[in-house]
């Protein structure tokens, strides 16, 4: 009985996670302009003279968010 409850809870958690992930990936709200990475890199170069290595390890679609977070701290 305990095993059935545990498996049911796990399957519900996985289903909810997949649903949330799929809806966030399919929404159009998170799409940034295509030239945003170039603008962010230009701003980094203006600030530091080059793009810092710590930002080059981020995937291109995450650099803008990482840069905004960096500037706010």
Bigger pLDDT: 55 vs 21:
55
Q: Which residue is it, tokens 């709200």? A: 29
Residue 18 contacts residue 8 (beta carbons within 8 Å): no
Residue 60 contacts residue 37 (beta carbons within 8 Å): yes
Bigger pLDDT: 62 vs 30:
62
Q: What is the pLDDT of residues 3-50, one digit of tens each?
A: 898 999 999 988 888 777 776 666 655 555 567 888 999 999 999 999
The band of 73, judged by pLDDT with boundaries at 50, 70 and 90, is confident
Rounded CA-CA distance 5/1 in Å is 6
Q: List CB contacts of 24: < 8 A, sequence separation 6 or more.
A: 30
Bigger pLDDT: 42 vs 1:
42
């Amino acid at each position: 009985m305990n095993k059935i409850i545990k498996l049911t809870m796990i399957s519900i958690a996985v289903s909810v996670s997949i649903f949330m992930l799929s809806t966030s990936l399919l929404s159009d709200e998170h799409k940034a302009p295509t030239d945003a990475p170039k603008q962010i890199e230009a701003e980094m170069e203006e600030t530091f003279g080059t793009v810092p290595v710590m930002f080059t390890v981020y995937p291109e679609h995450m650099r803008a968010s990482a840069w905004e977070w960096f500037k706010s701290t």
